[in-house]
Every structure is written in structure tokens, then in C-alpha cells.
Structure 1
């Protein structure tokens, strides 16, 4: 029974694989797929998606637009993947970032009967024992879940977030296919090696699996609530643990005004400048004090409550800054303000990973130019978004991989700064940032911090001294037994080997065609054997086969785009 279930899953995966490749072919990415060496599926899909007015119109768009359209057509997993890629300016050109930022995961709502079944299955009780009322029409729908308004038995308003049935299996199948394509891309497309497609898909898998588990989001809500328990300017929705689980999350219903609804905010008597300041302070506290921050504070996720109190919704995407990365970021900002090129260069190299050491002289020159661009600019005129974008461009230029959480932070700060400037044209994120930087700088001089640093260093040296004799003994033992191995990795040869293999096959094929032509010509000179209209049948047949094979070879070369 288990083998039959696995066989059915594999058959569905193959059908989905063909659908994905067919959609990519439909939008003009056939040449890329040809390089992945999956000829059978690609050829079958090419026959299906070979033409059509809509297809020809789509192929006239730019590659970035075509890829976005393909992702929208392929559904939730690929839309989520595109949204993740839109946060990675370190690996994608600006036009792709712009297009992927337009991806929306709005889907038709799940029928209420399935929602009813999902809630009762997860919470283990009939619906009437859980809620006095549950709206049949959802407040919002997305690729992974939809949200319904409800009332508890005591009359309190709540929002119930329910995961779409079977979405976990759909995403799991797509993730397996994405991982397969990533491995093929890494093997057959050396130019993509520096972007590490496999690691990118693994990062996406971790992200989407966290988002699928509402228990994790509930714990995150509780952590944020604890962090801001004493803050009167920021509110975190209450999570009802007894009415939540892996596929259902019940939260306090927030009755407020969207931060983007400026007219309603003014009519309600709110000071927009105060709202901007509260929102910025809340985000910076999350980042620099707690090390856990909301990763997607766009206007649809921010509400203003009486006070004014700012409230963020949807904690499915969060970023984390550990102590090391947090202080590296602060040191980096201080280095820019102090015009310390050496310090900024060192911190850039420490904060990311790279395949090859960049030319230090070139990196210092670029860093120096970057600092000069901001050194003479008044603090109130510095745009955090521009500064972070320029900083990320340096990472990209020198192939230094940026920590994913740092990219989430950059996006969150840029988004919040944009909201702040819409609320208050004089808003300045850097001005809000400076007090936090000074606070952290003072914190590093306290006895408790210095004692912890000293304790960490002592622990590292203690671990080194404990492990060093054993590691040296293991190394010497392997050398004595001739078991010491050195692994060498060649890069960039896979494509060369593939191209040489294709060239040798074409050369062999050409020689076969030449042999047929020469042999047929010799037979034509001999007046023996069966003939038709005075021509030897074997000679005529040889010419025909040579012509067919020659035409087939010419078409194959033309289709490859390499004459």
C-alpha cells in the first residue's frame, strides 16, 4: 500500500514537473531549459506549448516580466519563491526585483465547508463550542491561508487564520521539483554557481515551512507581546493558545485604521508625524534591542489604534539578528559616520561569505567612494533606503553573499521609511536610528557586557586547547596510514565537457553523413544491382538517408542557437 501511494505521488510529481517546464517554455525560457539536460520532458512540453497568439504576445515582454507571469501561472509556491527573490537584490538585477515585488498571492477563497472541517479537525471540538459566530466570507485570502472574522463564546471579536487544505502537499511537491532544478542549474550552468541555487531553495524551504506552521507564528506573537509588554505606543495582537494549532491561529481582532488611509487618520484627529515616529521606534526596538523583528511591515500590515498606538499584523515573516550581526551592523554605521574606510571594509568582509577573496585595493576604493557620497550630506537628508541599496550593491559587485536576515532588515527599513515619509515629509529614519546606536555603543562598555565577552573568548580558547591535541593526533595517524585525502573541486568544467561532448557527437554524425555520400557516389559509378530509372537503388537510398540526416543535423544546430 505504501509503495502504491509513493508511486501515485511520483506520477503526480512527474505531471507537475511537465507542467512547470511547459509553462517556462511557454514564456520563452526554452534555451535555458535545454542547458539543463532534461530533453525528454522538455521535448514533450515543447510540442504542447509551441505557439498561440497569447504565447507570442507574452514572449514579446522582457525576461523579467515573462518570469513573473510564469510564476503567477504556476501558483502559490512559485509566487512565494518570487516574493523571496524580491528581497534579494544581491543576486537579482533591479528589473527582476521590481517585477517580483508586484507578485500578489491572492487566490479564490476555500469553500466554507472545508474551512469548517479544518477547524474542527485541528481543535478537536464542534465549531459551536469554539465560537459563537464565524463569518462564512473571509476577510482576506492568500496562497497559504485565509482569515475569517469570528466571535468567542464571551462575545470578544477575533480573527481566525486557517491554512488551506492540502497546501502542504502541493508546496512539498513543488519544493522537490525546485530543488531538482536547482541541482541541475548548479551542475550545468556554471554562471549561476556564485548564486548557489541549491542553498537559495533550501533557504526558501525553511522560510515556507515556518510560514506553514501556525504554532510557530503563535509563539512568535507571544515573544513580541512579551518584548513590548511595557510599551504604550506599540500593540501586539493577543494569541488565543487554546483556539490555535498547526493549521489554525486565533488572534485578537484589531479595530483600527490602516496606516495608509491618511484621510481617515486626519478625520480621527491623529497626528501623522507621531504615528510615523511610533512606527519607526517600534521597528528599531525590534531590530536593535530585541533582535527579533517584523519582516514585512507594509502598509496593509500596519494599523493605528487610539492613543495613537501602532499595531503590526501578520507575523509569518520575521527576521533575527544575533548579537554578533547586530553589533557588526552598528559598527558598520559608525564606520560610515566616522569615514573609517578600513573599518567599513573589514566589516563588509566579516559580515558575508565569498567564494574568492576580492581585490582589497578595489574594495577599499569603492568603499571610500561610498562613504564620500554620504559624508557631507546633512543627517536629515540621508535616505536609509538609498544608503542600504548602495551598500548592498557593494556586496553584489564583489560577490560577497549577504546574510538573509540582513536583506529582510533592509527591506523592512526601506518600507518603514517610505511609510514614514508619506505620513510626515520631514521624517528621517537615520535621526531615529542614532539614539539606538549610541545606546548600544554605551552598552558595550558596561562591566556585564565586557565580562560576557571575556567569558566567550575564554570558552573559545578552552575549546581550542581541548580539541587541538586530538585533532593533531588524528591528522598524524591518517598521514602514517596513507589515508590523508585532499578534495579538489573543479569549477566551470562541466559546461565545457558538455559542449565538447555535443561537438564530438555532431562531428561523428557529420562523418557518418560524409561516409554515406561517398559510399553512395561510388555505388552510382558501378552498374550492378537493382536500379530505378537507370540509378542504382542502394546509391539512391544512401543519398536519401544522408539528406535526411544532414537536414536533421542542420535543424538541431540552428535550434541550439550556436552556428
Structure 2
């Protein structure tokens, strides 16, 4: 009897020990490991693992719903809204480079449903500020432990502005007393960017496999450009490069690049001249202070026309928040900020792009087709619409309103992705920003004419290309005369719309009477014929 009781106790004790071992093996140890991994990820790697898992899981879930779960939604529109909301949550939660990628979607919004276009515009709102403790550490790391005493007379601990990659503080230098803008990179960018971009490329591969649309051929290029944008020494070089080009160009006046303090700047901290001006985001203030919106747009368009067609060195983030205007000696001066994202255009591409603008303006379909073929593009009409951001005049294209055919056109837009010039991705984004600002200001300038003139001037200056010798030697050639006639006719149409717009009380835009508003209206019709949607601005 006693032996059986003893055996029972031993069995119970052994069972308890066994359960304890299981608990330790499968619960406690994994729990401790998980907690340890979480702590390391949270403290040392700034949630890198969590952010990557969140992104991959979220994008996979959305891909699943689009591929297999459409029946879970009342309509396609509700699916689009769900996907847009989920993506926005991921991007806002992950911050940093994810915000930049979302902004890229916002700027190329016409290929996305309206729900995406509406949601992703929110990514242009000011980013959350870093606490001063974090900023202080970054400044000590880059400028030295006693930077507040040795470098600055004072620095405002409250940020003036914050964006996805950095935030800006106002300060005054100790030696000389110059007022400066101190751009400080968020401390998490350096640790997160390599993995974030790797996740971006992984997601692109998954979506390419899921939807059959070629995403991956451009992801490496975009990743490389975003990496450069996080290097403030690279940004400083871009700014100095553009300043040198402007200073040597007699055709550009009253355009200013703020001075940079190279000896004080690093890869993560950029110190530049402080500029008191009015942001181009504040149209009403510009009007109240008597600035000419037409003069601003003329300067803006001429500068970017020169960058694109002549310099081949293009500021690729020219949204209104990166542009200021001020009076200097009684004259308007346009100030260009934020030089982190630039693209360099190869000479061959630059010439072909200028030729393309000329062909588009002359309605030369053979010329357009020639350039499109060189770039591996099938659809001439969609290509033309994308470049000039105005509707095509092709009757065949305008008849194409069948959604099935439209989808075929989109999928077959590229015949050979290896030939496609990747610079066009950022160039199209830049052109869209230029169009948006002209429209916002009430279309005071004939955008198409200004850019076509800059394209033509660059071709006339280029005497190394055999195709252009005839142009450069014979200014009164038939092609040039025809182009001048088309430019003149285009100006007549522009001024008809402009006078009508002013008579209707819409000088500064808002009532939808400007020529850019009419172009957008016809662009919307073109987009709908392709099964696409454009958000009305």
C-alpha cells in the first residue's frame, strides 16, 4: 500500500516536472527570446523587424484580397477604399522612407483608383517632430559635444518644419551671426533605410508575380535615388551644381539658391542660409503682398525647362513647399529649396526628350513613334498624353473606351522594359508638379509653349547631333516656320482662355476656368476611356 502511494507521488512529481519542462521549452524560453528580440529591435534597431513584418504582411493581405477575396466586398470601390486605408496605416506607422514611397504613388496617382489618390495626398502633411533629446544626440554626433557653445549662438529647440527624412530648426551661427536653417536627419533613417528598401523590392517582386505587371525593373533605380536623398553632402553638391549653372546663364535672372555652409555640414546635418520668404503653398498671401503669380510661374517654368532640356540636371521634388518668393531690391526673387532628389539626364536621352516635345507639338506621329520605339514603348497615344500632360488628338485613341481593351493597352504599354529610360519616372513626376502649380495659380502661363520653346532652343544649340545641323544652319527652314506658327496659334488659344477666365472673375483660379482646368477635364475623359480615374483638384 505504502509502495503504491509512493509510486503515485513519484509519477505525479515526474508529470509535474515534465509539464514544467514543456512550459519552459515551449512558452517561457520562446517568450523570453521573443521579448528579447522585441527589446533589441525596439531599442537598438528602432523597430526595424516589426516595421518589415508589418509591411510585408499588410501588402500580402491586400494582394490576397485583390486576387482571391473580392467577394468579401460589396463593390470594387469598397475594396479600393479598404486597400487604400490599410496601406495608409502601414505607411504612416512605418514613417521614413515609406512616406517617400507613398508620396511617389500620390504623384503618379492616375494609375491608381481615386481612393488611393485621396488617401495618399495626406502623406504631404507635416511629419511628426522628433523630441529635442533625439535631435540633440544627432547634433552632438555630427557637430561635436559642445556644438551649442562652439557652433551656434543659439538654436531653436522647437522645429520650424518636419518631413519624412529630416526636420529643420532655425539657428544663428556663433562666428558672423548669420541666421541659418539646420536640417537634421531623423535618427532612425540611417538604420532603417537599407532594410526598408529591400522590403520595398521584395514587395514589388510579389506584386509583379501576383498581378503580372512589371514592377521590379524600376525598383532598383528608385531605391538608388532615395538612398542619395538621405545623404546631405550629396544634397549640398546638387545645390552648388545648380547655383553654378544659374549664375552662368544670362537667360535666368532673380532665381536664388540659399548659401550652404559646407565646412559645418555632414551626411546627416545640413546648415544653410535662412531665407525669409513666402511659400508658394500660400497663394492668398502671395496675392495680398502683391507678388505676380504669372512672373513666378514664368521663372519656375523657364528654370525647369532649362534644367530638363539644356542642363540635364533636374531638381525632382519641385512641389510648392520647396519654393519661396521674396522681394530683393524691389524685384521678385524665386528661391529654390531642398536639393536632395535630383536626376542627371544622359545626353542621348536629353536630345531624344527635346525632339519628342517638338514632335508632339508638331503632331508628328512618325517622330513620336520613332522615339517611342527607341524607348521600348508600344502605345504612342498613351505615351504622348503622359509626356505633355494634355489630351491626345488621335481619333483612334479617343474611340477606345472599352475597359477590356484599355487594360490590354496598359499591360502592353512597354514592349521592351530594358529600353525604357528610367529617368522618365522622376521626370514625369516633376512635370506633374509643374502642371499642378500652374493650375493652382489659375493657369497664368502657357506651360506647353514655354517648355516647347526651351526644348527647341536646346536642339538649336546642340550642333553635335547630325539630325540637328539643318536646324542650326537654317533657322527659316520649313520645320521651324511650322513650329512658330503652331506656337503662335497655341498662344492665341491660351489668351482666349485667359481673357475669358479674367472676365469670369477667375484670375487666380478656383472656379475651374483656366486652360489647365480644361486640359484636366479632357485628361479625365482620356483616363476614363482607359478605365482609369483622376481625382479632381
The CA distance in 1 between the partners of 2:125 and 2:67, in whole Å, is 26
Matching residue of 1:309: 333
**2:457 is matched with which residue: 434, 439, 463?**
439
Contact 2:312 2:350 (C-alpha < 8 Å) held by counterparts: yes
The CA distance in 1 between the partners of 2:200 and 2:107, in whole Å, is 18
Unpaired segments ≥5 residues, structure 1: 36-57, 375-382, 454-563
Answer with 340-349 or 102-111: which moved more. Answer: 102-111
**1:161 is matched with which residue: 176, 183, 188?**
183
Q: How many aligned residue pairs are there? A: 399
Matching residue of 1:19: 54
The CA distance in 1 between the partners of 2:63 and 2:449, in whole Å, is 46
The CA distance in 2 between the partners of 1:61 and 1:96, in whole Å, is 7
Matching residue of 1:123: 143
1:119-518 correspondence runs (5 A): 119-124=139-144, 126-127=146-147, 128-153=149-174, 154-186=176-208, 188-189=209-210, 191-192=211-212, 194-197=213-216, 199-230=217-248, 231-306=252-327, 307-351=331-375, 353=376, 358=378, 363=379, 366=381, 384-387=388-391, 396=410, 398-400=412-414, 401=417, 403-423=421-441, 425-444=443-462, 446=463
Answer with 314-323 or 147-156: which moved more. Answer: 314-323
The CA distance in 2 between the partners of 1:388 and 1:311, in whole Å, is 34
1:179 shift after superposition: 3.3
The CA distance in 2 between the partners of 1:130 and 1:196, in whole Å, is 46
Matching residue of 2:132: 112
1:172 shift after superposition: 2.6
1:239 shift after superposition: 1.0
The CA distance in 1 between the partners of 2:451 and 2:167, in whole Å, is 36
Secondary structure of residue in 1 paired with 2:169: strand
Deviation readout 1:53-108 (Å, 9 max, x if unpaired): xxxxx979343343333322333232222222334469656654554344236433
The CA distance in 2 between the partners of 1:89 and 1:195, in whole Å, is 17
The CA distance in 1 between the partners of 2:53 and 2:219, in whole Å, is 19
Secondary structure of residue in 2 paired with 1:195: coil
CA RMSD of aligned residues (A): 3.8
Contact 1:273 1:424 (C-alpha < 8 Å) held by counterparts: no
The CA distance in 2 between the partners of 1:395 and 1:219, in whole Å, is 41
Alpha carbons of 1:328 and 1:389: their partners in 2 closer, same or farther (altered >3 Å)? Answer: farther
Unpaired segments ≥5 residues, structure 2: 1-35, 70-77, 398-405, 470-537
Answer with 246-255 or 169-178: which moved more. Answer: 169-178
Secondary structure of residue in 1 paired with 2:159: coil
Secondary structure of residue in 2 paired with 1:132: strand
Structure of greater Rg: 1
- Work out whether 1:68 is the aligned partner of 2:82: no
Deviation readout 1:318-342 (Å, 9 max, x if unpaired): 2332211111112112222333222
Deviation readout 1:458-504 (Å, 9 max, x if unpaired): xxxxxxxxxxxxxxxxxxxxxxxxxxxxxxxxxxxxxxxxxxxxxxx
Alpha carbons of 1:285 and 1:34: their partners in 2 closer, same or farther (altered >3 Å)? Answer: same
Secondary structure of residue in 1 paired with 2:123: coil
The CA distance in 2 between the partners of 1:414 and 1:270, in whole Å, is 24
1:234 shift after superposition: 0.7
Alpha carbons of 1:254 and 1:31: their partners in 2 closer, same or farther (altered >3 Å)? Answer: same
Secondary structure of residue in 2 paired with 1:86: helix
The CA distance in 1 between the partners of 2:126 and 2:373, in whole Å, is 40
The CA distance in 1 between the partners of 2:455 and 2:421, in whole Å, is 20
TM-score of the superposed pair, with normalisation by structure 1: 0.62
